[in-house]
Amino acid sequence: MTTTRTQVAIVGAGPSGLLLGQLLHKAGIDAVIVERVSGDYVLGRIRAGILEQVCIDLMDEAGVGARMHREGLVHGGIEMLWDGRRHRVDLNRYSGGKNVMVYGQTELTRDLMDARAAAGLTTVYEAHHTAVHDFDTARPYVTYVKNGVTHRIDCDFIAGCDGFHGVCRASAPRSAIREYEKVYPFGWLGLLSDTPPVCDELIYVNSERGFALCSQRSKTRSRYYLQVPLTHHVEDWSDDAFWQELRLRLDDEARERLVTGPSLEKSIAPLRSFVTEPLRFGRMFLAGDAGHIVPPTGAKGLNLAATDVKYLFDGLVQHYRERSDAGLDAYSAKALARIWRAERFSWWFTQLMHRFPHDEQITAKFQHAELDYLMHSEAGLRTIAENYVGLPLDFGQR
Ligand code: RFL
Ligand code: PHB
């Protein structure tokens, strides 16, 4: 067994772990990241596409925002389609001047990985049997096995950034944890292709055949999603079948403009709302998907992970620089207040846009009437816009 020491041991090299690692490095705080899979595997997971301003600001604070600003596409609106007609939500106007940015999670992750490698910082990929120990004492440590050798990292704090299926949340004492969960009775089938996006902005579609989303990664790369039953498997969906079904859910103009092509990636993601309370167990803190999951409808998952990391980072800096634990003590409650607001929006937006099994005919009529109301009311447009671009960090304190 080898033993090393660091200030913060981070479990998981997804966006949460990498962003925290980079911020800590900039602040002169030592961290080691331990990741179960390879770097290539992490980069192969096609996930989020939309960054809120808080996430953009954090990438800048971490010193890794240059390529994002060069290549990211700023979007000031989204389109909503139901009953064959499209309506635009002017995000910028109704959120008091804010926008979102199209920049894939893959690219953000790559920027963080590159910065970490350039700074010579340690990320242990393909670490197996990771375990967290003694986080209820002043001397926590993490162990893992790599190439048959057991390694131990002694640390001051453990950051559980290891996603929904990680080891950190699972290691918290059951008596100290409360979990809230809702699993939706459908999934999203996603397809990535090197084809120009059907529209300059994203289109969220409520169709009688189920939800669809037209998203993008660049001017030449599109990302589309279809609501599918949980019983479907990705192998059962040929590219042709996907494009055909998408066309049926679009309006006439989009149907005509849609450019199809071979898929670069296709996968099905289940939809879930999930929150763990609290997010702190002694000297172990959960951040990102380790502590909560939102259905992707509101594009909130990665952005919430970024704000968790911001709050945790601020608390750690306060601990090391000012010898105050006020920030760390406040972390769980502060992060959870923001998480629940995003959970509510994501749940509401999911219910508004999807077909649920056993829905009565009247349900679609209610959805259409609600969409009609939202799109023709200042209050309605503001409700969507201010939540979609992300509520201010000090929301609720003003
Ligand atoms: P991740 O990305 O899951 O990373 C966790 C990392 O921990 C590793 N790990 C372990 N490492 C060591 N030991 C163990 N025992 C470990 N167990 C796990 C894993 O291998 C992994 O590398 O969590 P993180 O960093 O908190 O990041 C969260 C985001 O990935 C997630 O919230 C978003 O992708 C959600 N999401 C979206 N978020 C947005 O903000 N905007 C979007 O537009 C958006 N679209 C989406 C999405 C998620 C999707 N899927 C597939 C769930 C679209 C989709 C389809
Ligand atoms: C995506 O581009 O992957 C994406 C965009 C918006 C969402 C969800 C996913 O709401």
- For the cut 90, the answer to whether the pLDDT of residue 64 exceeds it is yes
The arithmetic mean of pLDDT across residues 88-104, rounded, is 97
Instruction: From 362, 349, 354, select the one nearest 388 (Cα to Cα).
Output: 349
pLDDT of 315: 98
CA atoms within 13 A on the CB side of 187: 13
**398: pLDDT strictly greater than 80:** no
Residue among 272, 289, 391 whose CB has most ligand 1 atoms within 8 A, to mutate: 289
> Mean per-residue pLDDT for 362-373?
97
Is residue 103 annotated as a catalytic residue, yes or no?
no
d(CA 92, CA 81): 19
Q: According to the model, what pLDDT value does residue 90 have?
A: 98
Tokens encoding 210? 């189920």
- Choosing among 3.40.640.10, 3.50.50.60, 3.40.30.10, 2.40.50.180, the CATH entry for 2-74+100-180+272-355 is 3.50.50.60
Of these residues, 300, 310, 319, 334, which one is catalytic?
300
Tell me what pLDDT residue 122 has.
87
- Mean of the pLDDT values across residues 236-259? 98
Cα(49) to centroid of ligand 2, in Å?
Answer: 5
15-26 vs 301-317: helix axis angle to the nearest 10?
30
Catalytic residue among 141, 144, 184, 204: 204
Contacts with 187 (C-beta within 8 Å, 6 or more apart), sequence order: 227, 228, 229, 230, 232, 268, 269, 270, 271
**pLDDT(46) > 90:** no
Q: Residue range 38-59: average pLDDT?
A: 94
For residues 15 and 29, give the distance between their C-alpha atoms in angstroms, rounded to a whole number.
Answer: 18
CA of 336 to the centre of ligand 2 (A): 23
Number of helical (H) and strand (E) elements in the chain, helices listed first? 13, 21
Residue 175 has pLDDT above 80, yes or no: yes
CA 366 – CA 187 distance, rounded (Å): 22
pLDDT for the residue 63: 97
Instruction: Kindly state the average pLDDT of the residues 162-189.
Output: 98
Q: Bridge-partner residues for 263, per DSSP?
A: 193
**Predicted confidence (pLDDT) at residue 382 exceeds the cutoff of 90:** yes
Could you tell me which of 115, 323, 294 has the C-alpha nearest to residue 188? 294
Q: Is 388 a catalytic residue?
A: yes
pLDDT for 250 equals 98
What is the reported pLDDT for 248? 98
296 is catalytic: yes
Domain boundary assignment for the chain: 2-74+100-180+272-355
In the predicted structure, residue 151 carries a pLDDT above the cut 90: yes
Question: Residue for token digits 């010579």?
Answer: 120
Ligand lying nearest the CA atom of residue 50:
1
How many whole angstroms separate alpha carbon 307 and alpha carbon 19?
11
Query: If pLDDT is split at 50, 70 and 90, which confidence band does 217 have?
Result: very high
If you average pLDDT over every residue of the chain, what do you get? 97
Radius of gyration of the chain (CA): 21
Q: Are 261 and 222 a contacting pair, CB within 8 Å?
A: no
Among 106, 146, 156, 101, which Cα is nearest to 124's? 146
The model's pLDDT over 110-141, given as tens digits with 9 standing for 90+, comes to 999 999 999 999 899 999 999 999 999 999 99
pLDDT of residue 397: 81
169 C-alpha to center of ligand 2: Å?
26
Contacts 24+ apart (CB under 8 A), 208-214: 208/355, 208/364, 209/245, 209/248, 209/249, 209/355, 210/186, 210/249, 210/354, 210/355, 211/249, 211/297, 211/353, 211/354, 211/355, 212/246, 212/249, 212/250, 213/188, 214/250, 214/254
266 catalytic per annotation: no
> pLDDT, tens digit, for every residue of 329-339?
999 999 999 99
Judged against a pLDDT cut of 90, whether residue 370 lies above it is answered with yes
348 CA from centroid of ligand 1 (Å):
22
Single-letter amino acid, residue 371: L
Q: What is the pLDDT of residue 222?
A: 98
Q: Is 204 a catalytic residue?
A: yes
Question: For atom 48 of ligand 1, which residue has the closest CA?
Answer: 47
Name the band, by pLDDT with cuts 50, 70 and 90, for residue 340. Answer: very high
Q: Which ligand is nearest to the CA of 15?
A: 1
User: In angstroms, rounded to a whole number, what is the distance separating the alpha carbons of residues 212 and 132?
Assistant: 40
pLDDT score at 304: 97
What whole-number distance in Å separates Cα of residue 316 and Cα of residue 236?
48
Residues 203-214: tens digit of each pLDDT: 999 999 999 999
Residue 70 pLDDT exceeds 80: yes
Q: What does the pLDDT average to over 281-294?
A: 98
pLDDT at 22: 98
Q: What distance in angstroms lies between residue 286's CA and the mean position of ligand 1's atoms?
A: 13
Average the pLDDT over 348-371 and give the result: 96
Contact 355, 364 (CB under 8 A): yes
Q: Are strands 210-216 and 202-207 parallel, antiparallel or unpaired?
A: antiparallel
pLDDT band at 396 (very low <50, low <70, confident <90, very high): confident
Kindly write down the DSSP assignment for every residue of 45-108, as one continuous string: -----EE-HHHHHHHHHTT--HHHHHH-EEE-EEEEEETTEEEEEEHHHHTTS--EEE--HHHH
- pLDDT-based confidence at 351, cuts 50/70/90? very high
